[in-house]
Chain A
Amino acid sequence: MNPLLAEFITESRDLLEQASQGFLALEKAPGDAEILNGLFRAMHTMKGASGCFEIGALTRLVHAAEDVLDAVRQGELNLTPDRVDLFFEVLDRVGEWVDSLEAEERLPPGAEETSAGLAGRLRGLLSEANDEEPAGAGDAVAEERGAADVGSVSETSGAAPSWIVEVPDDVRRELYQIHIEGGPGTVAVTYTPGEQCFFTGDDPFHTARQTPGARWGRVESREPWPPADELDPYRCVLRFHLVAAAPVEEVREWFRYVADQVEVHEVAPEEWVIPAGPPGHGEPFGAFGEDARRWARKGLWGNLRDSVRAALEMAGPDLFQTSALHWMDLVLRGPDPDPGLVEWLIECVATGTLPPRRPASGAERSDEAKADHEKDVGSSEEKGTGRPEDEALAAAVEILQAQTELLAAPWGPDIRLGVLESAAGVMESALTELGDAAEMARLAEAREAAQTQGSGAPLRALARDILSRLLGTEEVQHEEPEEDPSPHSGGPAPSRSPRENGATPGQKIRVLKVDQTRIDALMDLVGELVVAKNALPFLARKAEEVFRVRDLAREIKNQHAVINRIAEELQGAVMQVRMVPVSHAFQRFPRLVRDLSRKLGKKVRLVMEGEETEADKNVVEDLAEPLVHLVRNSIDHGIESPEEREAAGKPLEGEIRLRAVQLDDQVWIEVIDDGRGMDPEVLKRKAYEKGILSEERLETITDEEALHLIFAPGFSTAEQVSDVSGRGVGMDAVRAMVDRVGGSVSVESTLGRGTCIRMALPLSMAVTRVMIVEVGGETLGVPIENIVETVRVPTDEIHRIKRHEAAVLRDRLVPLCRLGRVLDLEEAEPEPREEEAVLVVSIDGRELGLVVDRFHEGVDIILKPLEGIMAGFRLYAGTALLGDGRVLLVLNLRELVACL
């Protein structure tokens, strides 16, 4: 994938997440300007970044969102929960599109329609805010779609409006100068506000005055004024004319809510050239004309200019001819003046009238503009870089700087052309955003030059050039020599302007983004190292017992200790790399809780604790799904309706607490609600009715055990369960997941007070610790987290209760299970023993004593799930390779208990 696109995808996800959190925060603190600004920026950034790709549907949708947020920011619109819902829908949709971009590098089919629909609904909000002007909002959408057919918005084609003659000469000269010096472009705007606009809080005069880059404006009435006593002061009959030095897009953007009431005309520089004033009569002008025509024909611009200056000194102020001379002076300042224009001006001076205009050549204009722009420093100051309208400019500056850096870096020959091409593409997008047509032409040249030379120098020079213009020359560091930036030179990367990013030239990358598969590969290797290391004790024993070299055995043991330490540290280090904070799994819940509680008409407050607790990436990822089940259940069944809560004397707002705690090598994730809790008696009865619980079990089951019934598979699916217990949907799915990652889940509940469901998960899943036991000559692994204790029980203390054996341990009755018998591994005639080795394990809160032949040591293993035909043997959790090459079967205790 194109690295730019990859970056965009990552960035967009972050921004979407940020926006989602922003909206949630906004519901708590409505109108918080900082959050609103953050939201606006997020949308704005996405809009800008998406412009680099062919994903118009996305760009337009986020643009619509940006506009609405802007209205909210301006206080024109309130964010009601319904409107926030719409925004969430937009975020979801954009999220899907980003996924699609990642998978297929394009938007899914139908995105256009979805985008248009959602954008329409968003803009509908604007018309709600401004219901007098729904048409304007609609047109804004049409404009978004790039439809140039919005009749009322005059496009750049066609002649300049006639009223620009009324613009004072000096203003027009200023605009001309800005234009040819590569400034932002100049526009003439006619703004005819709607008659009812005062009622919507609009101040068209203010809008007109604050137009970006406004230089001059005039206001007039559209109809003759009635007598004062018939005047309706609140019916707007004004019309505004104004000229501005700003990109036409920026001006359109400024008037976007009243797009149908505005004609924006992009004025070509020569259109400003209109000498004005009362014509003077006098010989000097005629004589000037004679000389001037001759010089103009020969292209002796220098002579002509001197002559113009001389004539200006003699000419009286404010005359038509004086104005024409000033214009000529200005036009001649460029190194390559348009002969047609100059000759026309000469005629103006000579005749004192406006002769018919010859069409000026646009291409020459832009050449001139581009040739001229280097010396320009002033225009950027006039743009006022601090205003919000200039965000596009700031973005462009950033992009260009990044590209300069990119181009300067040494690239291998195989990818250099790709880099050049992509840099040129990005610069093109940035320039399009700025609406800088002259630079586009230069870019095309530079691009070609760069490709033929196979070097980034031309592009880089251009980027620096543009930058210096955009920022004003003093801010760009030209200290970097114009050396060959080809890969052989390997010169230092150019430092960015410190003001722009605060980076120092020598700063190194501190954070690496690494593909997860590389980490996984590393993890696998560590796992193998652990297994290989485990072989050393066996080797030591062999050296001692088989080869009888005790010294060597000791050496091997020493070495084993060293390698063991290193392997453990290595394992820890790799594990650390994979650790991510559980906040990744938590972050979706504010949204979920909000949506669900709104849907169910409950008031729920979500409290999150310990989000910074870290766990293995896979654990955190797998956590998200069951947590959703748990939280959903808590809201759906746990938290009561506000009325119920009031009746119970609880605060109206229920509370759901998500808590993560790290305990040794486990992380506990708890979902705690202060809802109605669960009744163990009801659970028991239901479980019995459903056949999950046998009658005898019904008698003995403790309340705590009864609560765990909610995790039983049969308990979860039927709806009536929720009628009874208020629990159940997907709870077995929760347990299945927790099992899969080798954790456990437990539940505590107090009727009327609330429920706490706790998932205890291993910090890392890569290496499991098991205890090896021997049964009937076979070795088996038992996961260490299930083991409570190992005891030796004298045979005469084992009691028989009906068919079952049990022993009293620490005043508790623990049922025993002879593992050898259950697994059919027992020798035909078991020797009578004085005491039995009992491994007490705990499964879902129930204790069970496993009678085995012998205990062995605990080992670290890499648990591999059973595959192929073995996959059906659910009794085993998996296999592992031991240090001496044997295969160890690891028991799945829960399955074992189920088989009893």
Chain B
Amino acid sequence: MPVRYKKKVAVLEGVCAVEEAESLLGWLQEHPKAKVNLKGCEHLHAAVLQVLMATGAPVSVWPEDLDLRGWVESALAPAR
């Protein structure tokens, strides 16, 4: 599974497909204080990315994939 839901952290790994968007959104709604761990994430489907952006869930670990990090950092960094 590309998304593992822990107590307070959703761990996104590998390639997160479009199907994950809805469940991730649901989970984030149920766990408003949860964080997202993108360490092992290689790619997010745009829909998943959109969920992360819309909910503003804080990112606990940024992706190791530098290209992906470059893309999502500006969108998900709380400073923006």
Question: Chain A: residues with CB nearer than 8 A to chain B?
Answer: 193, 198, 202-206, 208-209, 216-221, 225-226, 228-229, 231, 233-234, 236-238
Contacts and interface: CB of A to CB of B under 8 A. Distances in A.
Given A216-B70, A217-B71, A218-B75, A234 B54 contact: no
10 contacts: A203-B18, A205-B71, A206-B45, A206-B46, A209-B43, A209-B67, A221-B54, A228-B25, A236-B46, A236-B47
Contact of A205 (B25, B29, B45, B74): B45
Contact of A231 (B49, B54, B70): B54
A216 B74 CA distance: 11
Interface of B: 18, 21-22, 25, 28-29, 43-47, 49-51, 53-56, 67-68, 70-72, 74-75
A219 B29 CA distance: 23
A278 B71 CA distance: 23
Nearest to B70: A216
B25 A231 contact: yes
A229 B22 CA distance: 11
Contacts of A238: 46, 49-50, 53
Interface of B is mostly: helix
A204 B54 contact: no
Most interface-central of B47, B51, B53, B55 (chain A CB within 10 A)? B47
A211 to B, nearest CB: 11
B68 to A, nearest CB: 7
A236 B49 CA distance: 10
A190 to B, nearest CB: 15
A233 B25 contact: yes
Given A217-B70, A221-B54, A238-B49, 20 more contacts: A193-B46, A203-B46, A205-B43, A205-B44, A205-B45, A205-B49, A206-B45, A208-B71, A209-B43, A217-B71, A218-B71, A218-B74, A219-B74, A225-B53, A233-B22, A233-B47, A233-B51, A234-B22, A236-B50, A237-B50
A234 B71 contact: no
The 5 closest A-B pairs by CB, nearest first: A205-B46, A225-B54, A233-B21, A219-B75, A204-B46
Contacts of A209: 43, 67-68, 71
Contacts of A208: 71
A238 B53 CA distance: 10
B46 A198 contact: yes
Nearest to A219: B75
Given A217-B70, A218-B71, A231 B51 contact: yes
A308 to B, nearest CB: 29
A275 to B, nearest CB: 20
A198 B18 CA distance: 8
Contacts of A228: 25, 28-29, 54-55
A691 to B, nearest CB: 76
Nearest to A226: B54
A229 B29 contact: yes
Nearest to B57: A228
A238 B70 CA distance: 16
A348 B66 CA distance: 32
Contacts of B51: 231, 233
Nearest to B76: A219
B57 to A, nearest CB: 9
Contacts of B46: 193, 198, 202-206, 236, 238
Contacts of A237: 50
A470 to B, nearest CB: 25
Contacts of B29: 228-229
Contacts of B22: 233-234
